[in-house]
Structure 1
Amino acid sequence: MKNDSTINLDHPSLYNNRELSLISFNERVLMEAAEPLNPLLEQLKFTAIFASNTDEFFMVRVAGLLDQIKANHTKPDNKAGLTPTEQVELISKEMTVLFQEQYRLYHQLIDNLGENGWAIIENPDSFYEFETYFNDFIFPILTPMVIDAHRPFPMLTNKSIHIGIELANDEGETKTAFLKVPDLLPRLIFSTVQRAYVFIEDIISHFAHKLFEGVSIQSMSVFRITRNADLTIHEEGARDLLEEIEKELKNRENGAAVRLETEKHPSPSLLSLLKRELSIQEQDVYYHEGPLDLSFLFAFAREKASEKPELAYPPFQPQQTAYLGAGENIFEALRKRDLFFHHPFDSFDPIVSFITEAAEDEEVLAIKQTLYRVSGNSPIIRALKQAAENGKQVTVLVELKARFDEENNVQWARVLEEAGCHVIYGIPSLKTHSKITLVVRKQENSIERFVHLGTGNYNDQTAKLYTDMGIITNDSTFGEDATNFFNYLSGATTHPQFHHLSIAPEHLKEDLIRHIQEETEAHQKHGQGRIIAKMNSLTEKNIIKEFYKASQAGVQIDLIVRGICCLRPGIPEVSENIRVRSIIGRFLEHSRIYYFFNNGNEKYFLSSADLMTRNMDRRIELMFPVYSAAIQQSIREVLDLQLEDDMKARIQDRFGNYSALTGRTVNSQQELLKKSYNRNGKSLS
């Protein structure tokens, strides 16, 4: 079909709203909790992931919409055309339904747990066996927060479970008290009498009278508050960015309340008090048929997997990449070929070794690296410290604004500085989300540069859970690009020149649009136009419009978008040549791959960037080409396998709804696991 310029590609009917699409993603996570082919303990984990995801959704996305409403902002979003008020109303309706489904699934899964000897019960028949535990471990920690003429409404902690208690004395005078359920005590306590787990909040509720002498308890209600947790960091006016972020972190717990969760039938007077004091509207209140905060199921499932491993995914060990021989020195290998890694199927250990060996190599002169999120006991951090202590020039960009990792990254920045590393924080008002490492080594009378570029973080723990791709190369022009990039980050260069790299916000978006347009032009001349793009989220409107135009011209486009997707496929005369699928499985799909057929001269790119407005305009991102024919083939095999997936893939229709496929024969992640084992002469149990 020819490009029809008469169709208005800005029309709201062509787009999914960003926030409602994010809800749809979380619904797909919940679908995995309902999937009977998933082991029971993994179903529990997906239930917990849904709970954790929705916490963040309210703390960041809903909080932002409520801020807009308070500021009387009525402008609709630039894609689906919904005002902030309309979005909040739709979110409330959608989330009410999803929470009901979450708790229906929860009770079903808990029944299945009971059949396996792990019963979890609410309000057990007897509490007498817990009295000593309450007296010795719980009572000393609890501090009632009473409201009266001398004590105002207290600050109730974000995401903590609280118990609201209405009290009355003999004269009939009433007052309200709050108890915070201690976060550091186990959520579940095992009853040896009833052979079941009991919730700590139920134990506290039963013995709460011990805290209130001379008054009687009239009612008790369990509730939980979610607060605005997005940081407001004024970088331009901050003399010390570390101190500015530390100050804002202290304010996070005091953000405005954006959601109130409560048991199904709370005390009406207590509910009225909470809504009034927290400025919560009825549409922001969610009544749950079960215990609050189901994220506890993640730790519970992980603990129980050791007792009954058959109820969890079979364990696996990341394998050696096909691009590195057994026992082969990584630097020697790089002088022969580029190395490719697809985690977690390929081990992350060579990436760690790349840094640790460089730290100890007497010929290495400098190491430069960007860090966005790292693990709690990071071997990468240890290696960088060791390199600095060994006298090497070590430059590390630590992104202090990585959401919910700000505190960790502030600490790592201080640790690295103390070790002698040169720590930089990038460019004001932009998050540095790129993943790149440069190692500079002396080689006889010259220097050689080794560069690692990836789609994921330098985090040895998430590398076992997220699918990501990376390349290490000894190509001198990539080395020059990496040097120029780090000079850009440090402020030495404002508009760096590159042989290969595309960076945001400089020109990555423009380069992607150009590649889409060139594919469209090539198709119009030669036919067979094809684009495959894999990412976490797609929201950038200009890029979506280019996909629409390419589809109108007849280019076949497959989009593998795990999370948010504002593009609608299959719309006649607009996107009928576009297909959108989302894969949610054992591993979190995190790779960003952009492929263009280019009349047979195929182009492959990997990137740290999703096709989102924030990534294109407000983050420093990298996209890099893949030239090795062997690595291109490896990437294409992954793409083809994911396009064949009919077990974990969900397909979006023209109205933005997702549905499962009926084939049920190919699980791409499981197939990739098998291939990695078979390649190393092993079999996956």
Structure 2
Amino acid sequence: MLVNKVSDQIKKSKYISRDLSWLRFNYRVLDQARDTNKSIFDRLKFMAITASNLDEFFMIRVGSLYNYIDYGKERHDYSGLRELPFRKKLLDYAHRFVNDQYLTYSNELKPLFSKHGFDVLQVEELTEIEQKKVDSYFKNTIFPLLTPMVYDNYHGFPLLMNQLLTFGVVTRTTEEQKAQDRVTFVQIPGNLARFYEINRKDKIIFVPIEEIIRWKIKKLFRNVEIVSVNLFRITRNGDFTLEESDDIDADFVQEIKVKLRTRKKGRVVRMEVERNPSPLMMKILKERWVIDNANVFTMASLIDLRSLWQIINHRQFKERCFKQPPPVTPLSLPAETVDMFEYLKEHDVLLHHPYNSMEPVVALLERAAEDPYVLGIKQTIYRLADQSRVTAALLKAAENGKHVSVLFEVKARFDEERNIKEGERLEKAGCFVIYGISKYKTHTKMLMIIRKEGEKVTRYVHIGSGNYNEQTARLYTDVSLLTTDEVYAHDVSEFFNVITGHSRPNEYKYLLTSPNSMRQQLIELIRNEARNAKKGLKSGIVIKINSLEDKEVIDEFYKASKAGVPIKLIVRGICCLRPGREELSENITVRSIVGEYLEHSRLYYFHNNGESKVYGGSADIMVRSFDRRVEALFLIANEELKREAINILHYNLLDNVNSYIMREDGTYLKKRPAANEEVIDVHKLFYSRAYSTEVVEAELV
């Protein structure tokens, strides 16, 4: 009865649960691993991504839920469920996903390994000569790094690290004619490769490190009886929020460093364990970590599928993975090489990554660092690549005596340490570095180069949806704008003054910003479409984002739908809106695009009775984007570039290869081309240029 009541409550709600919606998104990623048209290595890549996604989900979303449960705070999910019933529903769904994930790995992928030149084998399946190699590797490399940590009446419970493979070894000794069972923990060092590699003539053999240790476990436990050997892995709560503070002198860098240390000790929210674990060990761990069977995931095979990256990235297999085409020249740039400083004085440029390279932006920054006429550079940084050319250019600019101001967001999840380190490097070089803004996370992506040209100063502006990361720019779809237009330059200058100083501009002409006004400005744009629809005028909204979660905006979409506004939403991940519900959202459709590239671009189109407005930028429709982040959306004012942006939306709506259509109940249906229908794969189309660049705007809505 209780199960039916919970299900009914979820169905009746006009909102979809954010967390359940995310798990459905990970199913769409798992769908890529099941795609037999992809190579085995690409399928393994998506399998590894589902594992990474799930790790983050447990650390952050399940961790956040436990913040409420552990401290007795009330929480209502969008479905209306309180924290404990929702916990049960969420973890039940997670168990279902993990079961499907491992069935895919064991039944669909693993049987293909051998015929593609590799295999994952146990030590017992190796030849005698291979076993001798493994034995030598254990003695010389693994054994010296292992530290058994016993837990008994004389030894406290050890700190077991987040997401490291751990053996729980139950041993027995006879003391004073009484058998004593004890549990000893052995963590596998995270700096060792997950697989030991053996080259055979016809294939590469990958031997899991845990199986090597299991094979030699007696070397760690001499003269005692080993009762059981149990492999497990824990995930700890990684969700933390900076204390709200009005103290502008607070040392946020030190605060983040403290939080990073506490992350290692966060409460356990998930335990993955191999089959038939020791009852004694499980009793101890459940009591110690205050978890129950809902938190325990019994794994049928390889624990931590992220380790598949070692196989995917192996030098022998890289040629067999997905081949990314070379980038094409942006529509707004000539094919021949141009002087970007000169070109941008007369033309705006819209970049659509990864189809267009990030090179024009990075090259412009590198040239600015050396250019004698450049006076200063201002930039916001959220995530950077390893050995970043962006950092190198900023360091060079500072060395050359230019004024360099950088806002480094040290609260960029899981990149905190890297950003602190890079920020400190820039500080030492003489850059003016700001580490975030009080209680807000700076997520906007902006760059300004100030250059003296004769008697005047020209400001070169770059603003977009993607990070200044050369690596992810090849894998994420994003849009960005390069311009010297004075309106953008004025707005961006004012915005930098706000985020680096203490300024409150009256208004921006081309920017919508948060945390102050973005939600209300978007709501007004939606209401304007509803007013036009009620007057019998043409109306329409098309929005492409990563996530849709903010209730206030969702409610405005519902009202606009009732007024007759056609609303087409392209939402890659979380979507809390219910499309197609009678008398609520009949005029709203939602699709998700999941494929070779991670859809990261945000574009907002409003028909505006024929005077359409299109915005790009960093913000999704989420509470955090409006209330807890510094974000910016930029109006695409140039008519030619606006048509390019509309073109991007148009073909995203036509895609029938990577698209999933969301149904009213929150489930998704894979879109497939009909028998006589043209196949449109946007992840190939924008490289090929085999499409019309003159889209009729009426086709969009």
Please indicate the TM-score interval, normalised by the length of the shorter structure: over 0.9
- Paired position in structure 1 for 2:157: 153
Q: How many residues align?
A: 667
- Cα distance in 1 for partners of 2:238, 2:66 equals 13
Provide the rounded CA distance (Å) in 1 between the counterparts of 2:355 and 2:105: 31
Query: Counterparts of 1:644 and 1:34 in 2: how far apart (Å)?
Result: 23
Partner deviation per Cα, 1:553-595 (whole Å, 9 max, x = no partner): 1111110000000001000111111000000010100000000
Q: Distance in 2 between matches of 1:585 and 1:480?
A: 38
| Whole-Å separation in 1 of the counterparts to 2:691 and 2:195 | 38
Q: Alignment partner of 1:582: what SS?
A: strand
Give 1:244's aligned residue.
255
Deviation (angstroms), 1:527: 3.2
1:48 maps to: 48
How far apart, in 2, do the equivalents of 1:300 and 1:201 lie? 16
* Aligned pairs (5 A) from 1:294-373: 294-303=305-314, 306-307=316-317, 309-310=319-320, 312-325=321-334, 326-373=336-383
- Identify the match of residue 439 of structure 2 among 418, 423, 429: 429
**What CA distance in whole angstroms lies between the structure 2 residues aligned with 1:256 and 1:491?**
38
What CA distance in whole angstroms lies between the structure 1 residues aligned with 2:486 and 2:204?
Answer: 65
The match for 1:655 among 642, 662, 665 is 665
* Structure 1 counterpart SS, 2:211: helix
Q: Which residue of 1 aligns with 2:287?
A: 276
Equivalent position of 2:137 in the other structure: 133
Residue deviations 1:423-446, cap 9 Å, x none?
113431000111111111112212
2:231 to 214, 218, 222: 222
Stretch deviating more after TM superposition (240-249 or 429-438): 240-249
User: Could you tell me which amino acid in structure 1 is paired with residue 398 of structure 2?
Assistant: A
Q: What's the offset of the Cα at 1:308?
A: 6.4
Moved more, 510-519 or 320-329: 320-329
CA RMSD, aligned part only? 1.9
**How far has the Cα of 1:45 moved from its partner?**
0.7
Q: Residues 241 and 496 from structure 1, CA distance in 2 versus in 1: closer, same or farther, beyond 3 angstroms?
A: farther
- Structure 2 match to 1:683: none
Corresponding letter in the other structure for 1:201: E
The residue type paired with residue 400 of structure 1 is: V
Aligned to 2:95: 96
Check the 8 A contact 1:209/1:216 in 2, yes or no.
Answer: no
Tell me, what secondary structure is at the counterpart of 2:192? coil
Are the structure 2 counterparts of residues 264 and 401 from structure 1 closer, same or farther at C-alpha, using a change threshold of 3 Å? same
What's the CA shift for 1:36?
A: 1.3
Match runs of 1:173-252 below 5 Å: 173-191=180-198, 196-234=205-243, 236=245, 239-252=250-263
TM-score by length of 2: 0.92
Query: Aligned-pair distance for 1:482?
Result: 1.1
Cα distance in 2 for residues equivalent to 1:235 and 1:554: 42
Give deviations 1:183-241, integer Å, cap 9, x for gaps.
11121123468963221101101101011112121100100000011234336367421
Aligned pairs for 1:565-604 (under 5 A) are: 565-604=575-614
Structure 2 SS opposite 1:173:
strand
Q: Distance in 1 between matches of 2:224 and 2:353?
A: 60
Query: 2:572·2:592 contact (CA, 8 Å) conserved in 1?
Result: yes
Cα distance in 2 between the residues matched to 1:244 and 1:400: 10
| Counterparts in 2 of 1:129 and 1:425: CA distance versus 1, 3 Å | closer
Of stretches 10-19 and 181-190 in structure 1, the one that deviates more from structure 2 is 10-19
Provide the residue aligned with 1:674 in structure 2. 688
CA distance in 2, matches of 1:515, 1:308: 47
For the 8 Å contact 1:455–1:470, the answer to whether it is kept is yes
Assess if the C-alpha contact under 8 Å between 1:324 and 1:330 holds in 2.
no
Asked if the contact 1:318/1:464 (under 8 Å) is kept, the reply is no
TM-score when normalising by structure 1 = 0.94
Equivalent runs, 1:23-38 vs 2, <5 Å: 23-38=23-38
Deviation at 1:249?
Answer: 1.1
What is residue 699 of structure 2 aligned with on the other side? none
Deviation at 1:302, TM superposition (A): 2.3
Give the Cα separation in 2 of the matches to 1:143 and 1:341: 52
Contact in 1 for aligned 2:374/2:450 (Cα 8 Å)? yes
Structure 2 distance, partners of 1:307, 1:261, is 29
Between the aligned partners of 1:440 and 1:492, the Cα distance in structure 2 is 21
Give the direction of change, closer, same or farther, for the CA distance of 1:239–1:508 in structure 2 (3 Å limit): closer
Query: Percent same amino acid at aligned positions?
Result: 38
Structure-2 separation of matches of 1:575 and 1:235: 37
Code of the aligned partner of 2:670: A
Which secondary structure state, in structure 1, belongs to the residue aligned with residue 230 of structure 2?
A: strand
Question: What is the letter of the counterpart of residue 136 of structure 2?
Answer: T
| Cα distance in structure 2, aligned partners of 1:303 and 1:676 | 34
**Residues of 2 paired with 1:192 and 1:477: CA distance?**
61
Q: CA deviation at 1:168?
A: 1.2
Q: Which position in structure 2 is the counterpart of 1:629?
A: 639
Which residue in the other structure is 2:82 paired with? 83
Q: Which runs of 5+ in 2 are unaligned?
A: 1-9, 694-701
Tell me the residue number matched to 1:556: 566
CA apart distance, 1:357 = 1.3
CA contact (8 A) 1:484 1:496 kept: no
Distance 1:580 1:85 in 2: 30
CA distance in 2, matches of 1:315, 1:648: 16
Q: 1:616 and 1:590, CA in 2 relative to 1: closer, same or farther beyond 3 A? A: same
Contact 1:597 1:603 in 2 (8 A): yes
Alignment partners' CA distance in 2, 1:562 and 1:250: 33
Residue 476, structure 1, aligned to residue 486, structure 2? yes
Once residues 691 and 375 of structure 2 are traced to their aligned partners in structure 1, the CA distance between those partners, rounded to angstroms, is 37
- In structure 1, distance between residues paired with 2:276 and 2:691: 52
Q: 2:620 aligns to what SS in structure 1?
A: coil
Q: CA 1:200 to 1:678, structure 2 compared with 1: closer, same or farther past 3 Å?
A: farther
* Structure 1, 595-604 or 533-542: larger mean CA deviation: 595-604
2:429 is equivalent to residue 419 of structure 1? yes
Instruction: Check 1:277–1:355 CA distance in 2 against 1; reply closer, same or farther (3 A cut).
Output: same
Work out the CA distance in 1 between the residues paired with 2:319 and 2:110: 18
User: Is the Cα–Cα contact under 8 Å of residues 384 and 394 in structure 1 kept in the other structure?
Assistant: yes
3-state DSSP of counterpart to 2:145: coil
Deviates more, 1:437-446 or 1:135-144: 437-446
* 2: CA distance, partners of 1:478 / 1:190: 54
Q: What residue is the counterpart of 1:388 in the other structure?
A: 398
Displacement of 1:170 in angstroms is: 4.5
Please report how far the alpha carbon of residue 467 of structure 1 lies from its aligned counterpart in structure 2 after TM superposition: 0.3
Contact 2:410 2:435 in 1 (8 A): yes
For 1:492 and 1:307, locate their aligned partners in 2 and report how far apart those are by CA, in whole Å.
53
Q: Is the 8 A contact 1:346 1:676 kept in 2?
A: no
Contact 1:378–1:459 (CA under 8 A) maintained in structure 2: yes
Matched residue of 2:118: which SS?
A: coil
Aligned partner of residue 183 in structure 1, secondary structure: coil
For residue 291 of structure 1, report the CA deviation from its aligned partner. Answer: 1.1
Deviations 1:471-493 (A, max 9, x none): 01111121111111111012230
AA paired with 1:364?
Answer: V
Partner residue, 1:39: 39
Q: Letter of the aligned partner of 1:675 in structure 2? A: R
- Which SS does the other structure have where 1:650 is aligned? strand
Conserved in 2, the CA contact under 8 Å of 1:485 and 1:496? no
Aligned letter for 2:660? R
Letter in structure 2 aligned against 1:105 = T
Amino acid across the alignment from 1:115: K
Q: CA separation in 2, counterparts of 1:174 and 1:145?
A: 14
Separation in structure 2 between the aligned mates of residue 128 and residue 444 of structure 1, nearest angstrom: 74
Q: Structure 1, residues 122-170: CA drift from partner, whole Å, max 9, x if none?
A: 4634555421211111111111111123211111000000011011125
Contact 1:319–1:677 (CA<8 Å) still a contact in 2?
no
Residues in 2 aligned to 1:524 and 1:86: alpha-carbon distance in whole angstroms: 42
